[in-house]
Structure 1
Amino acid sequence: MCIEVKICGLSTPETMTAAIEAGVDYVGTVFFPPSPRAVTPSRAGELLAPVGDRATKVGLFVDAVDALIEEVLKAAPLDLLQLHGSESVERVAAIKSRFGVPVMKVIKIRGPDDVSRVENFLEVSDRILFDAAPPADLENPLPGGNAVSFDWTYLKGKAWPKPWMLAGGLTADNLARAVDLSGASALDVSSGVEDRPGIKNPDKIRAFIAAAKVI
């Protein structure tokens, strides 16, 4: 089984290089100012320029207006737009149509019934990402990257016509179990390779990718 890996929230040349050299499949930059992982469009352009075609370049947006997406795309060579907010089906379709860049809609999971929401987005999304919904009692939660997971068995045995990723509380230590329980073939990690929110550790990045590639 070949497990693909996305490292989200990269914000320094050192961590970007570590991810690329370790064989990452997707590199993600965040364009949501409240996040400690956020970068400016120009900074993202600098970080992503050396990546070339060695990994798919992903930009994370949260209920973003067209002006921000346009500004980012002018500065950074993104291959995929990750829509991590409360975007409607119509909004996802409009973003894909206007900018001509593939989109990945995030479905936030708290209980088993949330999984069915994916059906609404299959026609308008190129990819799907299942992430844990922020806990209701968490102070100042972010849309993602909260170091929490959901019950991975909610996804076991499911099949959709679009490729999908699993996110939420993943680490090098638990990713094998996550794959076994969910059936995921692609993993997205952010907080699980950090020393603290927004500060990624190159050694943890390398360890995560290495663990995923031996499953």
Structure 2
Amino acid sequence: MSLYSMRTRAKICGITRPQDIQSAVAAGADAIGLVFFLPSPRNVSIEQAQQLADVLPPYVQLVGLFVNASAAEIQQILQKVPLDVLQLHGDETPEQCQAIAAQCQRRWYKAIQVKPDLDVVAEIQRYQTAGASAVLLDAWHPELKGGTGHSFDWSAFPKLEIPLILAGGLKPENIEEAIHTTQAFAVDVSGGVESAKGIKDQQLIERFMQGVQRGSAK
């Protein structure tokens, strides 16, 4: 049995409003994701991020999502926003991730888009060797960096000792099946619990987290 084969963790990503943090925490989310990527409709400013961090209780992690950001850009945000973990969601190489982590003094994990013909296991191992705490597997899109609303073939989800996070197209209706199929360490949802981009729906969050609990119990 894997060291990590306990209950499935869950992150609600792309939050822009304090009340959505409160809904996520009340429903049992383990982590909250803030997007620091200007082209994203879920992007937050440093000032917004500070306000959101202020309402986050202890024992719930704050994750910052970055796309091809420099260490200096991330450090500027870290001076004002107490991020626990960095989610590197762009084209960062293992060496770049390692350098960012060293300069920012934060744990990190890498998001990998599952492209056709990609050797996913080899790619995961490259980042694991560079010091990733986990790897997130997301659906591939030729233009978008996450938040696509699409899923990939869950049957191809690898079983490795490093914690693996499932993202892409997750929603209340399919989360139980997704967990049962992949046995992922954690799941990451954004659009699947929204009424509009960046606006979370309390009932969808609750239904999603109920599905996570059911999936974990199998």
Both proteins in one fold, TM over 0.5: yes
Deviations 1:53-90 (A, max 9, x none): 23111000000022320121111111000000000111
Q: Runs in 1 of length 4+ with deviation above 6 angstroms?
A: none
Deviations 1:150-206, CA, capped at 9 Å, x for gaps: 0011115x213x212100000111011111221213100001111232222122112
CA contact (8 A) 2:18 2:55 kept: no
Contact 1:4/1:185 (CA < 8 Å) preserved in 2?
yes
Opposite residue 159 of structure 1, the aligned amino acid is L
| 1:189-208 alignment runs, 5 A limit | 189-208=189-208
Residue correspondence of structure 1 range 122-141 to structure 2 within 5 A: 122-123=128-129, 124-134=131-141, 136=142, 141=143
**1:70 partner letter:** Q
Q: 2:60 aligns with which of 47, 55, 62?
A: 55
Cα distance in 2 for partners of 1:201, 1:111 equals 33
Q: Which amino acid aligns with 2:135?
A: I
- Which of 50, 62, 77 is 1:45 aligned to? 50
What's the CA shift string for 1:88-111, capped at 9, x where partnerless?
Answer: 111000011111100011111023
- State the percentage of identical aligned residues: 38
Aligned AA for 2:152? F
1:58-137 correspondence runs (5 A):
58-111=63-116, 113-116=118-121, 117-123=123-129, 124-134=131-141, 136=142
Corresponding residue for residue 166 of structure 2: 166
Aligned counterpart, 1:149: 151
* Number of residue equivalences: 208
What TM-score does the superposition give when structure 1 sets the normalisation length?
0.92
Q: Which amino acid aligns with 2:156?
A: Y
In 2: Cα distance, 1:46 partner to 1:195 partner: 22
| C-alpha distance in structure 2 between counterparts of 1:187 and 1:76, whole Å | 24
- The structural deviation recorded for 1:112 is 5.6
Report the residue type matching 2:206 in the other structure.
R
TM-score, length-scaled by structure 2 = 0.91
Tell me which residue corresponds to 2:24.
19
> Is the counterpart of residue 212 in structure 1 residue 217 in structure 2?
no
Which residue pairs with 2:9 in the alignment? 4
CA offsets 1:9-44 (integer angstroms, 9 cap, x no match): 010011111001111101000000000000011211
Matches of 1:8 and 1:209, distance apart in 2: 13
Q: Write the distance in 1 (CA, Å) between the matches of 2:57 and 2:211.
A: 24
Task: List alignment gaps of at least 5 residues for structure 2.
Answer: 1-5
Does the 8 Å CA contact 2:151/2:167 hold for their aligned counterparts?
A: yes
